[in-house]
Every structure is written in C-alpha cells, then in structure tokens.
Amino acid sequence: DTGVSQNPRHKITKRGQNVTFRCDPISEHNRLYWYRQTLGQGPEFLTYFQNEAQLEKSRLLSDRFSAERPKGSFSTLEIQRTEQGDSAMYLCASSLAPRLAGEREQFFGPGTRLTVL
C-alpha cells in the first residue's frame, strides 16, 4: 500500500501525559500536513512542512504541540501535558509542492484517534 499511513490508529492517555503520533506520507510527496478533526466538524489545519521545513503553523497549534519532519520523510506530532480538549482525530495528509494545478491535491491517512481521560 503506497498511501499515507499513520500510527497508532488509536491512543488513550491520561490527562497530563505526553503523546506522539507518526505519519508516513506518500513517498514522492514533499509536502506533509497535520489537521485535527473533532466530532461533527471538518478537519482544521494545524501545520505543514515542505521537505523538512515547517512553513506554516495555525493559531490552533498551542505551545504544547510540536511537529517535526527531520529528514523530509516521515513526521511526528507531539502533544505535551495533554488536556481533555485535545481529544480528537489527528489527520495527516501529503501532496506534491504545487507548481501545477494538479499538484494541489492532498491525500489523507486514516488518522489517529486520541482520547484523553
């Protein structure tokens, strides 16, 4: 399977703990995006990378959130001192750097469902 993969698929943690999620994009894609989705809502943008450079961060990305893509391939999203409000589906997507119109398509992984108790 050459699609976007995410691990773990589900994570249950206690409030105050740190969690880390991993995303492996489609291999030839140099852009990688993180989104968060809560129940009944559409995904909301958090941050994106082009290769290893983090180019944009949403205001939703508080100081407790950090994302990395050290070698321009897989990415990790860490949440420190989790709060109950962090419970959501965390989605990763990848795309080519859009020089052409057809390269703006973003392909999503299956998501990581986080539950903070």
Partner 1 sequence: GQQLNQSPQSMFIQEGEDVSMNCTSSSIFNTWLWYKQDPGEGPVLLIALYKAGELTSNGRLTAQFGITRKDSFLNISASIPSDVGIYFCAGQTPYGGSQGNLIFGKGTKLSVKP
Distance CA 47, CA 33 (A): 6
Contact 109, 23 (CB under 8 A): yes
Asked if 111 is part of the footprint of partner 1 (rule: CB under 8 A), the reply reads yes
Residue 74 interacts with partner 1 (CB under 8 A)? no
- Per-residue tokens: 15: 């409030």
Asked if 53 interacts with partner 1 (CB under 8 A), we say: no
Q: Does 48 bind partner 1 (CB under 8 A)?
A: yes
Residues in region 19-38 near partner 1 by CB under 8 A: 31, 33, 35
Q: Check if the beta carbon of residue 36 is closer than 8 Å to that of residue 89.
A: yes
Residue 56 near partner 1 by CB under 8 A = yes
The sign one gets for the Cα dihedral 63, 45, 71, 108 is positive
DSSP 100: S
Using CB under 8 A as the binding rule, whether residue 108 contacts partner 1 is answered as yes
Work out whether 91 is an interface residue with partner 1 (CB under 8 A): yes
Return residues touching partner 1 (CB under 8 A): 4, 6, 31, 33, 35, 40-45, 48, 50, 55-56, 58, 91, 93, 98, 101-102, 104-111, 113
